[in-house]
């Protein structure tokens, strides 16, 4: 109908914190059934996997189980061993032979840090296996799905197409007027492209676009991108922006910050090593520059979506985290479950639920 609402669901990136998104969607759908009414599923990274799953008919309960299963988490985040050229055992023997001299005692630790700076933290074989075992028809193309879906990725280089070789943001979707013709992308390829988080996983080789990485580098919260893509696709027909209703689901508001004590030598020492340090330090996550870019874009997209659509047409659900939960925080699964279970009994939850009932679905 020309006057009916057009419903968009967007899901942020956040690694294992996708459990929060999936659990919120499951509980909300139990109380106010809405998932079968969504017109466009949109997501980035882990949110892209959820969007692809829902668009291809995977029950939300199964998506929750993907994240809640510690075995899946350990399989996905199985540390990559680069097989360093330097024999660590020989190094340890060498340092011991020096009577634990302070000058050489940290050699093995330094080698470990160099490895973390040079190599990805995980390969993507475990993630690929989990996706193949849990997604419905992972080899099916986006064009053959019954539902519209949009996920984000970033092309690093495409030597197969010299005219489009430079890096650029991409949407992998099956909406009309697709400038990139990405509707022929398989569900699995789309999932591995959108979730290839820099420093965590290697870039993924898309068959048409070459090396691609996580869309979180430019749209960790895909709300504005999804809105723009829908408006430009012609899919609304006689409807317009006034008919759009958007529900945005985050993966939790982080508790990260970067205090002066992080670099006690002062602001002039904030060089590449500071911003790209491979280990978490207190409330500062590993690779702080990457986290800043992703968190910052999520906050900005939320602000812009609310300004453009207004509170009657747009709503965001984003649980306040009580601790830092990294993208690969398998040990935090139980904490996330308790956090969501507590949230769905809160007054804030009731307000969000009423918005879905009275604004999203009416």
Q: What would the DSSP string read from start to end of 214-247?
A: ETHHHHSS-HHHHHHHHHHHTTTTT--GGGEEEE
Per-residue pLDDT reduced to its tens digit, 18-33: 999 999 999 999 999 9
Sequence-separated (6 or more) residues with CB below 8 Å from residue 84: 111, 115
Q: What is the pLDDT of residue 1?
A: 42
pLDDT at 212 over 90: yes
Q: Are 83 and 147 in contact (CB under 8 A)?
A: no
The yes-or-no verdict on residue 170 having pLDDT over 60 is yes
Q: What pLDDT sits at residue 96?
A: 53
Cβ(21)–Cβ(316) below 8 Å: no
Closest CA to 249 of 160, 140, 355, 345: 355
**Which carries the bigger pLDDT value, residue 282 or residue 47?**
47
């Amino acid at each position: 109908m020309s006057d009916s609402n057009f419903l968009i669901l967007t899901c942020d990136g956040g690694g294992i914190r996708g459990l929060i998104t999936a659990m919120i969607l499951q509980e909300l759908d139990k109380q106010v059934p809405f998932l079968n009414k969504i017109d466009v599923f949109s997501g980035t990274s882990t949110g892209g996997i959820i969007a692809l799953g829902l668009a291809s008919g995977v029950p939300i309960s199964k998506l929750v189980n993907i994240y809640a299963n510690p075995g899946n988490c350990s399989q996905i985040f199985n540390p990559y061993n680069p097989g360093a050229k330097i024999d660590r055992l020989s190094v340890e023997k060498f340092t011991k032979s020096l009577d634990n001299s302070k000058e050489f005692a940290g050699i093995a630790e330094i080698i470990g840090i160099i490895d973390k700076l040079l190599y990805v933290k995980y390969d993507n074989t475990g993630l690929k296996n989990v996706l193949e075992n849990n997604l419905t028809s992972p080899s099916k193309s986006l064009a053959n799905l019954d539902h519209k879906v949009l996920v984000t990725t970033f092309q690093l280089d495409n030597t197969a197409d010299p005219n489009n070789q430079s890096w650029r943001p991409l949407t992998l979707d099956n909406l009309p007027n697709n400038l990139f013709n990405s509707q022929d992308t398989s569900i699995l390829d789309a999932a591995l492209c959108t979730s290839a988080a820099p420093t965590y996983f290697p870039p993924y080789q898309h068959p048409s676009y070459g090396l691609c990485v996580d869309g979180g580098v430019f749209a960790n919260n895909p709300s504005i991108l999804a809105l723009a893509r829908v408006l430009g696709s012609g899919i609304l027909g006689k409807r317009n922006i006034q008919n759009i209703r958007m529900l945005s689901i985050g993966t939790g508001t982080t508790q990260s910050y970067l205090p002066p004590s992080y670099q006690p030598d002062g602001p002039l020492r904030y060089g590449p090593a500071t911003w790209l340090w491979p280990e978490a330090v207190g409330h500062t996550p590993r690779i702080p520059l990457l986290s800043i870019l992703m968190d910052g874009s999520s906050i900005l997209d939320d602000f812009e979506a609310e300004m453009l659509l207004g509170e009657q047409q747009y709503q965001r659900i984003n649980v306040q985290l009580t601790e830092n939960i990294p993208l690969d925080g398998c040990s935090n699964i139980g904490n996330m479950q308790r956090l969501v279970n507590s949230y769905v009994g809160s007054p804030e939850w009731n307000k969000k639920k009423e918005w879905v009932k009275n604004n999203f679905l009416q």
